[in-house]
A and B are shown apart, each in its own frame.
Chain A
C-alpha cells in the first residue's frame, strides 16, 4: 500500500504527459486564411518551448514522487538552500521569457501597425443579435449615421440625406472580402459589447459601444467561412453568427451589390 500511491502518481503523470503531447501534435487551429501567419508561428514556437518544459517538469515530478518514498531508517537529505541554483533557474527562466516577450511585442506592433494606404474600408456594427456590414460604395466614403434615428428599418441609423450615404451598401450577417487586398474594418456596436471573431483569419475585436475601433488584415484564400460573436452579449449570443465570403478582388463589387439587393 505504501509504495502504491507513489507509483500511481508517477503513472498518472506519465499518462498525462504522453496523452497531452500526442494530442498537441494535431493541428487544432482552424485553417489560416489571412496574412496573420505570424500569430500561428508564435503559437507553434510557444507550443514547442512550453511543451518541453511541461514534459521535463512533469517527468521530474513523476520520478521524484515515485523514487523518493519513505523507507524505514532512511532520512531525507538535509539540503535546503543553494543561492547559486536559485539564481540560475531564475535568470534562465527570465532569459527565455525575455525572448518570448521580444517576439510577442514585435508581432503585436505589426498587427496594430497603420493599415496600407490602399486598404479597403468596411464597417461592421454589432447589435443584439446580428452583424450589420456596410460598404462605402463607389465614393469610398461611409455616409453619416445618427443613432437617434435608428429603427427596425434602419438599424444603424444611416442618415439617408447625406450624399455620402446614398451609395452605401448594407448587408446583414454577410461579409465579402477581396482576395489579397488589405481591408480596414471599423468595428462598432449599437447596444452591448460584442466581439467580432473570424476564427480562420486570426481576427478578434470587441465591438465596444461608443467607440469605433479599426483593425486591418488581408484575406489570402477564397472560400466561405464563419463570423462568430466571442463576447457574451445576451440570450441570443450563441446564434449571432455570420458568413465571410472571400472572392477575387475584381468580383467584389458585383458580389456585394448582388448581396445587398
Chain B
C-alpha cells in the first residue's frame, strides 16, 4: 500500500507539463484514448459522407447532379457520377468504417480510457508503446485519406480488395496507385492494433488490483481482453497477405494471380512472351483476408456487447443476469469466430466440403449469440429502468443484435446463401448487427463514460434527440435492404436500373436514401452535444450514475496516475445492484465486505 502511494505521488510528479507532451505525444492512457476516439469520429464523418453520396446515386442515378459536380469535380462528368468514382466511394466507405472507425473508437478509444481505470492501474502496462500505437494509427489515417488525391484516385476494388481486380493496375482506376496506399494504410493500422493488443492483454492479465480476479472483471474488460487476443491472432494474416499483394502489384510475383490473365482482350505477358503471372490463386487472398475479416467483425462487436451489459445493469439498477454464461458466450463467440470465415466464400468455387464445415461453424456461433440476448432480457426482467441516454443506446444494441443476428441464420445456411450472397440482404445484415451494434455501443459508451473523459456529463435532451433520430432512421435505412436483397438487388451496383428486374425497386431505394440522409444529418446533433458538453456541460461528480466499477471511485476526470491516493482494492463483482441485504441499491466493487452478503 505504501508502495503504491509512493508510486502515485511519483506518477503525479511525473505528469508532463508542456502542452506537446501532455496532449499531443502523451503517454497517459486517457489522453491517448481520447485521441483515438476523436480521430475515429472524424474518420466516421468522412466515411459517412461517402455513404451519403452512394445513397444519392442509388436512388436517383439519372438526375442531374451538377451542383455536386461543383464540389467534387473529379467524381462527376456533365452532372452524372462516374462509375469509377462510385466504386471508390463504397470501397473507401467500407475500409474507413471497418478499420479506422469501428475497430478504433470502441477498442482503441474506450479500451484505452477504461482498461486501467477498471482494473485499478495507474496506466497501461507499456505507456510509450501506447503512444506509439496511436501515432502509427494516425499515419494510417493520413495515408488512407491522402490516397483520395493520388493518381487515378483511391482504391476501388471493394473494402475486401479481391485480386485480380486489386492486383492488376489496369483493372479499375483505383488499382493504379490508390490500392498501394490502401495496403500501406492497412499495414500501419495492423501494426498499431498489434501494439495496442499487446498492451491490452498485458494490462488486463498483470495489472489487476488486489482482489480483482478475472471472474470479477466487468464484461467490457472481458470484451477488450478477447478482442485484443483476436486482433493479435487474426490481423497478421492480413499483414502477410497485403505485402504479398504489394509484391504481385509491383514486382511481378504471382501469389494471387493465376496463369492466363487477359485484360481488355490483351494477354498480360512477361518479357519472354509468356504469361507474366503463373500459378497464383485469387482464392488464397480470400482465405487470408477473411481469416482476418471474420474475427474482425467480432472485434467491432464484442466491445459493444460489453458496454451494453455494463450500461444495462447500471441503469436497470439490477444485477447482471448470468455473468458466467455471458463470459462463456463471449469466449465461445471469440473462439468460433476463427472457424467461420469461409461463409464469405460459399459461392467462390471453394470445395463444397469446406463450405459444409464453415456452415456448421457459422450456425454454431448463433448459440452463444442467442444466449447473450436471453441473458439481457432476463436482466431487464423485474428491473427498474432509468432511461438516461446511455440506457437508450444499450436498448438499441439489444434491438439491433436481435434483428441483425436472426438474418445470420438465413445467410449461414450455405444453399440459401447462393441467392443472398453479394446482395443487399447481406448489406442489411452486417449494417444492423456489426456496424449498428458497434456504433450504438460507441454512442452509449460515450454518454456513459463522458464524465471520465472530460469531467462533465453530456446533455440529456440532445442525447435523447440524437438517439431517437438515429434509432428510427437506422432501421429505416437498413431494414428495407432485406427486401430488396431478397428481390435479388446486388451490392456495389452503380446503376441498378440497368436491370429490368431491379427497376421496380427504385421507390424502396428512394425511401432508404431519404432515411439515410436524415440519419446522416442527425449526427450533427451528436457532434454539437459532444463539443458543447466537453467544454460547457454540467460538471460531473465521481460517480454520477451510481455505478459500481473502479472507474467511479476516482474524480471525473481522473488525474494523471488515476487515483490521487492508493489504488482501491476489490471485494466483489461489479454488478451488485439492489441486493436486499445492502443499505443502498448498489454496492461498489471496492467497498469492504458486509456482514451479510449474497451474490458473488
Contact = CB atoms under 8 A, between A and B. Distances in A.
Given A39-B418, A191-B261, A192-B168, A85 B378 contact: yes
A120 interface: no
Interface stretch (B66-74, B192-200, B344-352, B516-524): B344-352
B41 interface: no
A50 to B, nearest CB: 4
Interface residues of B, number: 121
Q: Which 5 A-B pairs have the closest CB atoms?
A: A210-B258, A5-B387, A104-B413, A199-B488, A28-B486
Given A28-B487, A80-B320, A230 B265 contact: no
B421 A230 contact: yes
Nearest to B160: A232
A30 B487 contact: yes
A96 B422 CA distance: 27
B322 A235 contact: no
B397 to A, nearest CB: 11
A90 B371 contact: yes
B218 to A, nearest CB: 14
Nearest to A234: B172
Contacts of B585: 75-76
A35 B116 CA distance: 59
B156 to A, nearest CB: 8
Contacts of B265: 127, 150-152, 155
Interface string A31-67: 0000010110011001100100110011011001100
A5 B418 contact: no
Contact of A210 (B260, B266, B479, B487): B260
A60 to B, nearest CB: 5
Contact of A86 (B259, B322, B355, B412): B322
B117 to A, nearest CB: 24
Given A75-B585, A76-B578, A208-B348, A241 B384 contact: no
A86 B409 contact: no
Contacts of A248: none
29 contacts: A8-B468, A9-B392, A16-B403, A42-B413, A61-B395, A68-B384, A69-B385, A74-B384, A75-B585, A80-B322, A81-B322, A86-B325, A100-B409, A105-B356, A107-B413, A108-B356, A108-B359, A109-B352, A128-B264, A150-B265, A151-B266, A155-B265, A190-B262, A210-B260, A210-B280, A226-B500, A234-B171, A237-B494, A238-B495
A237 to B, nearest CB: 7
Contacts of A234: 87, 165, 171-172
B407 interface: yes
B367 A94 contact: yes
A108 B378 CA distance: 37
B398 interface: yes
A53 to B, nearest CB: 6
A68 B266 CA distance: 69
B419 A9 contact: no
Given A50-B407, A234-B171, A236-B83, A93 B367 contact: yes
A157 B262 contact: yes
A181 interface: no
A77 interface: yes
Contacts of B258: 209-211
Contacts of B380: 61, 64-65, 68
A70 interface: yes
A130 B265 CA distance: 12
Contacts of A29: 419, 486-488
B594 to A, nearest CB: 14
Interface string B567-600: 0000000010111100001000000000000110
A239 interface: yes
A39 B599 CA distance: 49
Contact of B355 (A42, A108, A192, A197): A108
A23 interface: yes
B317 A75 contact: yes
Contact of A46 (B165, B410, B414, B482): B410
- Tell me which of A23, A100, A127, A231 has the highest count of chain B C-beta atoms within 10 A of its own C-beta: A231
A64 B407 contact: no
B496 interface: yes
B392 to A, nearest CB: 7
Interface in B364-393: 364, 366-367, 370-371, 373-375, 377-387, 392
Given A39-B416, A210-B259, A237-B494, A97 B367 contact: yes
Interface in A77-92: 77-82, 85-86, 89-90
B322 to A, nearest CB: 6
B487 A86 contact: no
A76 B577 contact: yes
B413 A46 contact: yes
A85 B379 CA distance: 13
A97 to B, nearest CB: 5
B282 A208 contact: yes
Contact of A43 (B322, B419, B468, B492): B419
A144 B574 CA distance: 70
B321 A206 contact: no
Interface string B444-478: 00000000000000000000100010011001000
Given A100-B413, A206-B349, A70 B385 contact: yes
Contacts of A115: none
- Tell me which of A76, A199, A238 has the highest count of chain B C-beta atoms within 10 A of its own C-beta: A76
Contact of B402 (A61, A74, A100): A61
Nearest to A91: B367
A204 B387 contact: no
A158 to B, nearest CB: 13
- Tell me which of A42, A93, A109 has the highest count of chain B C-beta atoms within 10 A of its own C-beta: A93
A127 to B, nearest CB: 7
Given A30-B487, A232-B165, A241 B498 contact: yes
A50 B404 CA distance: 11
Given A61-B398, A77-B383, A205 B487 contact: no
A2 B387 contact: yes
